[in-house]
Protein backbone atom coordinates (compact mmCIF):
# COMPACT_ATOMS: atom_id res chain seq x y z
CA UNK A 1 0.00 0.00 0.00
CA UNK A 2 2.89 2.34 0.79
CA UNK A 3 4.38 1.72 -2.67
CA UNK A 4 1.18 2.76 -4.44
CA UNK A 5 0.82 5.87 -2.28
CA UNK A 6 4.39 6.80 -3.10
CA UNK A 7 3.78 6.23 -6.83
CA UNK A 8 0.59 8.24 -6.71
CA UNK A 9 2.43 11.14 -5.03
CA UNK A 10 4.90 11.25 -7.91
CA UNK A 11 2.13 11.74 -10.51
CA UNK A 12 0.66 15.17 -11.19
CA UNK A 13 -3.03 15.22 -12.02
CA UNK A 14 -3.85 18.97 -11.57
CA UNK A 15 -1.89 21.74 -13.29
CA UNK A 16 -2.81 25.35 -12.52
CA UNK A 17 -1.36 28.69 -11.38
CA UNK A 18 -2.93 31.03 -8.86
CA UNK A 19 -1.16 34.38 -9.20
CA UNK A 20 -1.19 36.54 -6.05
CA UNK A 21 1.42 39.03 -7.27
CA UNK A 22 1.04 42.12 -9.42
CA UNK A 23 4.31 41.96 -11.34
CA UNK A 24 4.86 38.29 -12.32
CA UNK A 25 4.94 37.90 -16.10
CA UNK A 26 5.87 34.21 -16.30
CA UNK A 27 5.72 31.27 -13.87
CA UNK A 28 7.05 27.73 -14.33
CA UNK A 29 4.75 25.11 -12.82
CA UNK A 30 6.47 23.32 -9.96
CA UNK A 31 6.55 19.63 -10.77
CA UNK A 32 9.83 18.81 -8.97
CA UNK A 33 10.78 16.04 -11.41
CA UNK A 34 7.35 14.47 -11.03
CA UNK A 35 5.62 13.09 -14.09
CA UNK A 36 2.32 14.37 -15.48
CA UNK A 37 -0.44 11.80 -15.35
CA UNK A 38 -2.35 10.76 -18.44
CA UNK A 39 -5.71 12.55 -18.29
CA UNK A 40 -4.42 15.22 -15.90
CA UNK A 41 -6.52 18.38 -15.58
CA UNK A 42 -5.08 21.65 -16.88
CA UNK A 43 -6.73 24.92 -15.79
CA UNK A 44 -5.76 28.13 -17.60
CA UNK A 45 -7.45 31.17 -16.13
CA UNK A 46 -8.34 34.43 -17.82
CA UNK A 47 -5.27 36.56 -18.63
CA UNK A 48 -3.14 33.39 -18.73
CA UNK A 49 -1.60 31.20 -21.40
CA UNK A 50 0.00 27.79 -20.69
CA UNK A 51 2.99 26.68 -22.77
CA UNK A 52 4.31 23.10 -22.73
CA UNK A 53 8.04 22.69 -23.41
CA UNK A 54 9.67 19.34 -24.04
CA UNK A 55 13.45 19.11 -23.65
CA UNK A 56 13.91 22.82 -24.39
CA UNK A 57 11.59 22.82 -27.42
CA UNK A 58 8.25 24.66 -27.40
CA UNK A 59 5.34 22.26 -27.87
CA UNK A 60 1.65 23.02 -27.30
CA UNK A 61 0.10 26.33 -26.24
CA UNK A 62 -3.20 26.52 -24.32
CA UNK A 63 -5.38 29.67 -24.10
CA UNK A 64 -7.77 30.19 -21.14
CA UNK A 65 -9.96 27.15 -20.41
CA UNK A 66 -10.08 23.74 -18.69
CA UNK A 67 -8.47 20.74 -20.42
CA UNK A 68 -8.07 17.02 -19.91
CA UNK A 69 -4.61 16.23 -21.24
CA UNK A 70 -4.66 13.59 -23.95
CA UNK A 71 -3.18 12.91 -27.35
CA UNK A 72 -5.91 14.99 -29.01
CA UNK A 73 -5.05 18.26 -27.30
CA UNK A 74 -1.28 17.67 -27.18
CA UNK A 75 -0.58 17.20 -30.89
CA UNK A 76 2.88 18.75 -30.96
CA UNK A 77 3.99 17.08 -27.75
CA UNK A 78 2.60 13.77 -29.02
CA UNK A 79 4.73 14.13 -32.14
CA UNK A 80 7.82 15.01 -30.12
CA UNK A 81 7.25 12.06 -27.79
CA UNK A 82 6.38 9.69 -30.63
CA UNK A 83 2.89 8.91 -29.40
CA UNK A 84 1.52 7.69 -32.68
CA UNK A 85 -1.38 5.78 -31.15
CA UNK A 86 -1.94 7.73 -27.97
CA UNK A 87 -0.31 7.31 -24.59
CA UNK A 88 -1.27 5.68 -21.34
CA UNK A 89 1.86 6.19 -19.27
CA UNK A 90 2.88 9.40 -17.42
CA UNK A 91 5.20 11.83 -19.17
CA UNK A 92 7.58 14.65 -18.31
CA UNK A 93 7.27 18.18 -19.69
CA UNK A 94 7.80 21.71 -18.43
CA UNK A 95 4.68 23.88 -18.18
CA UNK A 96 5.03 27.67 -18.23
CA UNK A 97 2.17 30.00 -17.40
CA UNK A 98 2.36 33.41 -19.11
CA UNK A 99 0.47 36.33 -17.57
CA UNK A 100 -1.18 38.22 -20.45
CA UNK A 101 -2.77 41.00 -18.41
CA UNK A 102 -1.65 44.63 -18.74
CA UNK A 103 1.18 45.75 -16.49
CA UNK A 104 0.44 49.41 -15.78
CA UNK A 105 2.39 52.28 -14.27
CA UNK A 106 5.79 51.16 -15.57
CA UNK A 107 7.94 54.21 -14.91
CA UNK A 108 10.53 55.68 -17.23
CA UNK A 109 12.77 58.72 -17.08
CA UNK A 110 15.93 60.15 -18.55
CA UNK A 111 18.80 59.28 -16.16
CA UNK A 112 20.77 62.28 -17.42
CA UNK A 113 19.91 65.48 -19.23
CA UNK A 114 19.68 65.46 -23.01
CA UNK A 115 20.09 68.41 -25.33
CA UNK A 116 17.97 69.91 -28.06
CA UNK A 117 18.54 72.94 -30.27
CA UNK A 118 15.68 75.39 -29.96
CA UNK A 119 15.05 78.33 -32.29
CA UNK A 120 14.27 80.68 -29.37
CA UNK A 121 16.76 79.59 -26.70
CA UNK A 122 19.52 77.81 -28.60
CA UNK A 123 21.04 74.67 -27.07
CA UNK A 124 18.91 73.63 -24.10
CA UNK A 125 19.24 70.70 -21.68
CA UNK A 126 16.08 68.80 -20.72
CA UNK A 127 14.90 65.94 -18.55
CA UNK A 128 11.70 63.95 -18.98
CA UNK A 129 9.63 61.44 -17.00
CA UNK A 130 6.52 59.35 -17.53
CA UNK A 131 4.87 55.93 -17.45
CA UNK A 132 3.90 53.19 -19.90
CA UNK A 133 1.74 50.04 -19.99
CA UNK A 134 2.80 46.68 -21.50
CA UNK A 135 1.46 43.15 -21.93
CA UNK A 136 2.71 39.89 -23.37
CA UNK A 137 1.40 39.63 -26.93
CA UNK A 138 3.36 36.56 -28.13
CA UNK A 139 3.96 34.07 -25.28
CA UNK A 140 6.25 31.81 -27.31
CA UNK A 141 8.46 34.68 -28.47
CA UNK A 142 8.49 36.11 -24.95
CA UNK A 143 9.82 32.82 -23.55
CA UNK A 144 12.44 32.50 -26.28
CA UNK A 145 13.65 36.12 -26.27
CA UNK A 146 13.23 37.23 -22.66
CA UNK A 147 12.24 34.76 -19.98
CA UNK A 148 14.28 31.72 -21.04
CA UNK A 149 14.33 28.97 -18.44
CA UNK A 150 13.68 31.13 -15.38
CA UNK A 151 11.21 29.59 -12.97
CA UNK A 152 9.66 33.02 -12.40
CA UNK A 153 10.02 36.27 -14.33
CA UNK A 154 8.85 39.70 -13.12
CA UNK A 155 8.66 43.17 -14.62
CA UNK A 156 11.64 44.27 -12.52
CA UNK A 157 13.94 41.87 -14.38
CA UNK A 158 13.43 43.67 -17.69
CA UNK A 159 12.76 47.18 -16.39
CA UNK A 160 16.28 48.43 -17.12
CA UNK A 161 16.38 47.27 -20.73
CA UNK A 162 12.87 48.50 -21.51
CA UNK A 163 13.60 51.86 -19.90
CA UNK A 164 16.65 52.27 -22.13
CA UNK A 165 14.52 51.51 -25.18
CA UNK A 166 11.87 54.01 -24.08
CA UNK A 167 14.33 56.82 -23.37
CA UNK A 168 16.15 56.32 -26.68
CA UNK A 169 12.97 56.40 -28.72
CA UNK A 170 11.62 59.37 -26.74
CA UNK A 171 14.73 61.48 -27.39
CA UNK A 172 14.57 60.56 -31.09
CA UNK A 173 10.89 61.51 -31.18
CA UNK A 174 11.58 64.90 -29.59
CA UNK A 175 14.30 65.58 -32.14
CA UNK A 176 12.13 64.51 -35.08
CA UNK A 177 9.15 66.55 -33.89
CA UNK A 178 11.09 69.85 -34.24
CA UNK A 179 8.68 71.41 -31.77
CA UNK A 180 9.55 74.74 -30.17
CA UNK A 181 10.48 74.46 -26.52
CA UNK A 182 7.52 76.55 -25.41
CA UNK A 183 5.13 74.29 -27.35
CA UNK A 184 6.06 71.03 -25.61
CA UNK A 185 3.43 71.19 -22.88
CA UNK A 186 0.51 71.52 -25.31
CA UNK A 187 1.83 68.67 -27.47
CA UNK A 188 2.37 65.97 -24.81
CA UNK A 189 -0.40 63.86 -26.31
CA UNK A 190 0.99 63.97 -29.85
CA UNK A 191 4.51 63.22 -28.60
CA UNK A 192 3.17 60.32 -26.51
CA UNK A 193 1.31 58.79 -29.46
CA UNK A 194 4.35 59.17 -31.70
CA UNK A 195 6.60 57.47 -29.11
CA UNK A 196 4.10 54.67 -28.55
CA UNK A 197 4.03 53.91 -32.27
CA UNK A 198 7.83 53.83 -32.53
CA UNK A 199 8.18 51.72 -29.39
CA UNK A 200 5.60 49.22 -30.61
CA UNK A 201 7.98 48.18 -33.36
CA UNK A 202 10.76 47.62 -30.81
CA UNK A 203 8.69 45.83 -28.18
CA UNK A 204 7.17 43.30 -30.58
CA UNK A 205 10.65 41.80 -31.02
CA UNK A 206 10.43 40.73 -27.38
CA UNK A 207 6.91 39.37 -27.70
CA UNK A 208 5.53 42.44 -25.92
CA UNK A 209 2.93 45.03 -26.78
CA UNK A 210 2.99 48.60 -25.48
CA UNK A 211 -0.60 49.68 -24.83
CA UNK A 212 -0.02 53.16 -23.51
CA UNK A 213 2.82 55.66 -23.31
CA UNK A 214 2.49 58.82 -21.24
CA UNK A 215 4.74 61.84 -20.67
CA UNK A 216 4.38 63.20 -17.14
CA UNK A 217 6.79 66.13 -17.44
CA UNK A 218 9.54 67.66 -19.54
CA UNK A 219 11.56 69.87 -17.20
CA UNK A 220 13.79 72.79 -18.11
CA UNK A 221 16.98 73.89 -16.35
CA UNK A 222 16.19 75.89 -13.21
CA UNK A 223 17.86 79.08 -14.50
CA UNK A 224 15.90 79.03 -17.76
CA UNK A 225 12.66 78.19 -15.97
CA UNK A 226 13.19 81.16 -13.65
CA UNK A 227 13.67 83.48 -16.63
CA UNK A 228 10.54 82.16 -18.32
CA UNK A 229 8.54 82.63 -15.12
CA UNK A 230 9.87 86.19 -14.81
CA UNK A 231 8.92 86.93 -18.41
CA UNK A 232 5.46 85.49 -17.78
CA UNK A 233 5.10 87.82 -14.82
CA UNK A 234 6.00 90.82 -16.98
CA UNK A 235 3.46 89.80 -19.61
CA UNK A 236 0.78 89.37 -16.96
CA UNK A 237 1.44 92.82 -15.53
CA UNK A 238 1.67 94.37 -18.99
CA UNK A 239 3.37 97.46 -17.53
CA UNK A 240 7.10 97.94 -16.92
CA UNK A 241 6.32 100.51 -14.21
CA UNK A 242 4.24 97.97 -12.31
CA UNK A 243 6.92 95.34 -12.87
CA UNK A 244 9.58 97.68 -11.38
CA UNK A 245 7.35 98.32 -8.41
CA UNK A 246 6.89 94.60 -7.90
CA UNK A 247 10.67 93.99 -8.00
CA UNK A 248 11.26 96.89 -5.59
CA UNK A 249 8.68 95.48 -3.19
CA UNK A 250 10.41 92.09 -3.35
CA UNK A 251 13.75 93.75 -2.53
CA UNK A 252 12.28 95.62 0.43
CA UNK A 253 10.62 92.47 1.71
CA UNK A 254 13.93 90.60 1.50
CA UNK A 255 15.69 93.45 3.36
CA UNK A 256 13.04 93.43 6.07
CA UNK A 257 13.56 89.72 6.62
CA UNK A 258 17.32 90.27 6.96
CA UNK A 259 17.82 93.29 9.28
CA UNK A 260 21.61 92.81 9.35
CA UNK A 261 21.99 93.48 5.63
CA UNK A 262 18.97 95.81 5.50
CA UNK A 263 20.93 98.81 6.89
CA UNK A 264 23.61 100.91 5.31
CA UNK A 265 23.52 101.66 1.60
CA UNK A 266 21.13 98.78 0.83
CA UNK A 267 18.71 100.15 3.38
CA UNK A 268 19.04 103.64 1.93
CA UNK A 269 18.41 102.37 -1.58
CA UNK A 270 15.44 100.39 -0.38
CA UNK A 271 14.03 103.44 1.38
CA UNK A 272 14.64 105.59 -1.68
CA UNK A 273 12.92 103.04 -3.91
CA UNK A 274 9.99 102.89 -1.50
CA UNK A 275 9.74 106.69 -1.43
CA UNK A 276 9.92 106.80 -5.21
CA UNK A 277 7.08 104.31 -5.44
CA UNK A 278 5.09 106.33 -2.91
CA UNK A 279 5.69 109.54 -4.85
CA UNK A 280 4.70 107.91 -8.10
CA UNK A 281 1.50 106.69 -6.51
CA UNK A 282 0.89 110.17 -5.08
CA UNK A 283 1.42 111.75 -8.50
CA UNK A 284 -0.97 109.30 -10.07
CA UNK A 285 -3.54 109.96 -7.34
CA UNK A 286 -3.14 113.73 -7.72
CA UNK A 287 -3.59 113.56 -11.47
CA UNK A 288 -6.64 111.38 -11.04
CA UNK A 289 -8.07 113.77 -8.43
CA UNK A 290 -7.50 116.75 -10.71
CA UNK A 291 -9.28 114.98 -13.54
CA UNK A 292 -12.18 114.10 -11.26
CA UNK A 293 -12.45 117.67 -10.03
CA UNK A 294 -12.46 119.01 -13.58
CA UNK A 295 -15.19 116.60 -14.59
CA UNK A 296 -17.26 117.58 -11.55
CA UNK A 297 -16.83 121.25 -12.38
CA UNK A 298 -18.02 120.67 -15.93
CA UNK A 299 -21.12 118.93 -14.62
CA UNK A 300 -22.01 121.65 -12.05
CA UNK A 301 -24.38 124.60 -12.88
CA UNK A 302 -22.92 127.78 -14.35
CA UNK A 303 -23.09 129.76 -11.10
CA UNK A 304 -20.66 127.31 -9.48
CA UNK A 305 -18.04 127.67 -12.23
CA UNK A 306 -16.30 130.50 -10.26
CA UNK A 307 -15.05 128.13 -7.55
CA UNK A 308 -11.29 128.49 -6.84
CA UNK A 309 -9.02 126.17 -8.84
CA UNK A 310 -7.22 123.25 -7.13
CA UNK A 311 -4.02 123.94 -5.24
CA UNK A 312 -0.87 123.83 -7.39
CA UNK A 313 1.31 120.72 -7.00
CA UNK A 314 4.05 120.91 -4.37
CA UNK A 315 7.69 121.45 -5.30
CA UNK A 316 9.59 118.19 -5.82
CA UNK A 317 13.28 117.47 -6.13
CA UNK A 318 15.27 114.61 -7.64
CA UNK A 319 18.09 113.38 -5.38
CA UNK A 320 21.41 111.79 -6.34
CA UNK A 321 22.09 108.89 -3.95
CA UNK A 322 25.25 106.92 -4.50
CA UNK A 323 25.48 108.21 -8.06
CA UNK A 324 21.92 107.14 -8.96
CA UNK A 325 18.92 109.39 -9.60
CA UNK A 326 15.99 108.87 -7.24
CA UNK A 327 12.73 110.74 -6.74
CA UNK A 328 11.13 113.09 -7.28
CA UNK A 329 10.48 113.71 -3.54
CA UNK A 330 8.36 116.44 -1.95
CA UNK A 331 9.63 118.54 0.95
CA UNK A 332 8.02 116.34 3.59
CA UNK A 333 9.74 113.26 2.24
CA UNK A 334 13.06 115.11 1.98
CA UNK A 335 12.67 116.18 5.62
CA UNK A 336 12.36 112.48 6.59
CA UNK A 337 15.41 111.60 4.49
CA UNK A 338 17.44 114.36 6.21
CA UNK A 339 16.37 113.03 9.61
CA UNK A 340 17.50 109.54 8.56
CA UNK A 341 20.88 110.89 7.35
CA UNK A 342 20.06 109.86 3.79
CA UNK A 343 20.33 113.47 2.58
CA UNK A 344 22.68 116.24 3.80
CA UNK A 345 23.78 119.66 2.58
CA UNK A 346 26.32 118.12 0.22
CA UNK A 347 23.80 115.83 -1.45
CA UNK A 348 23.11 116.92 -5.05
CA UNK A 349 19.52 117.75 -5.95
CA UNK A 350 17.64 119.01 -9.00
CA UNK A 351 14.14 120.20 -9.81
CA UNK A 352 12.37 121.35 -12.93
CA UNK A 353 13.68 124.82 -13.89
CA UNK A 354 17.17 124.42 -12.42
CA UNK A 355 20.09 124.69 -14.86
CA UNK A 356 21.91 121.76 -13.27
CA UNK A 357 22.44 119.71 -10.13
CA UNK A 358 23.31 121.65 -6.95
CA UNK A 359 24.23 120.74 -3.42
CA UNK A 360 21.11 120.76 -1.24
CA UNK A 361 22.66 123.38 1.05
CA UNK A 362 22.84 125.81 -1.90
CA UNK A 363 19.13 125.59 -2.73
CA UNK A 364 17.09 128.23 -0.83
CA UNK A 365 13.93 126.08 -0.66
CA UNK A 366 15.84 123.37 1.19
CA UNK A 367 17.71 125.51 3.75
CA UNK A 368 14.95 125.08 6.33
CA UNK A 369 15.38 121.29 6.19
CA UNK A 370 18.85 121.43 7.78
CA UNK A 371 18.20 124.00 10.54
CA UNK A 372 20.18 127.11 11.33
CA UNK A 373 23.94 126.66 11.37
CA UNK A 374 25.69 128.11 14.47
CA UNK A 375 28.08 131.05 13.88
CA UNK A 376 31.84 130.37 14.03
CA UNK A 377 33.24 130.26 17.58
CA UNK A 378 35.00 133.40 18.92
CA UNK A 379 38.82 133.54 18.74
CA UNK A 380 40.68 132.38 21.83
CA UNK A 381 41.52 135.02 24.41
The CATH number assigned to the domain holding 165 equals 3.30.479.30
Q: For residues 10 and 277, give the distance between their C-alpha atoms in angstroms, rounded to a whole number.
A: 93
pLDDT in the model for residue 263: 47
- pLDDT reported for residue 339: 85
Check residues 151 and 371 and name the one with the higher pLDDT. 151
Single out the residue of 57, 40, 46, 37 nearest to residue 17, CA to CA: 46
Going by pLDDT thresholds of 50, 70 and 90, the confidence category of residue 3 is: very low
Give the start-end residues of each E strand in the chain. Answer: 11-15, 24-28, 35-44, 48-54, 57-62, 65-68, 94-99, 103-109, 114-118, 122-136, 152-154, 208-219, 316-321, 324-330, 348-350, 358-359
Q: Is the pLDDT of residue 121 over 60?
A: yes
Decide if 245 is inside a domain.
Answer: no
Do 117 and 90 have their domain in common?
no
Do 180 and 129 fall within a single domain?
yes
Please report the pLDDT score of residue 362 as a whole number.
82
Weakest mean pLDDT among 157-171, 193-207, 247-261: 247-261
Residue 345 belongs to domain spanning: 268-285+314-368
pLDDT score, position 63: 95
Residues 297-349: tens digit of each pLDDT: 666 555 445 666 666 667 888 888 887 888 888 888 888 888 888 888 888 88
In a domain, 345, yes or no: yes
Same domain, 68 and 122: no
Q: Is residue 147 part of a domain?
A: yes
Name the strand (E) or helix (H) holding 75. Answer: helix 75-81
Beta carbons of 150 and 94 less than 8 angstroms apart: no
For residue 132, the model assigns a pLDDT of 93
Identify whether 150 is part of a domain: yes
Counted domains in the chain: 3
Q: What is the pLDDT of residue 254?
A: 58
- Is residue 127 domain-shared with residue 215, that is, in the same domain? yes
Give yes or no for residue 136 having a pLDDT over 90: yes
pLDDT > 90: percent of the chain? 19
Instruction: Answer yes or no: is 172 within a domain.
Output: yes
23 vs 364, which has greater pLDDT? 23
- Residue 26: closest CA among 113, 189, 141: 141
Dist. CA 367–CA 98, nearest whole Å: 96
Amino acid sequence: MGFWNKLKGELIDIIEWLDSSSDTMMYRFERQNNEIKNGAKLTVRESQVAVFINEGQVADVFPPGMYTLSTQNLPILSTLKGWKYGFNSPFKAEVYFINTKRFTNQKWGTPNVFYIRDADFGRVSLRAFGTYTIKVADPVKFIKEIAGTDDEFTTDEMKGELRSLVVTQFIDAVGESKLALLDFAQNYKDLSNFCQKKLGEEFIEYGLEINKFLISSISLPEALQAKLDEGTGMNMLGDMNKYSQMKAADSMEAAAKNPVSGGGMEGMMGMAMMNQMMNQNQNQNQNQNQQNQYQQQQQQPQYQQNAPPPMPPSVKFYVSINGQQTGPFDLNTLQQMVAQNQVNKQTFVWKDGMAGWKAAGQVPELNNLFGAAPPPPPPPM
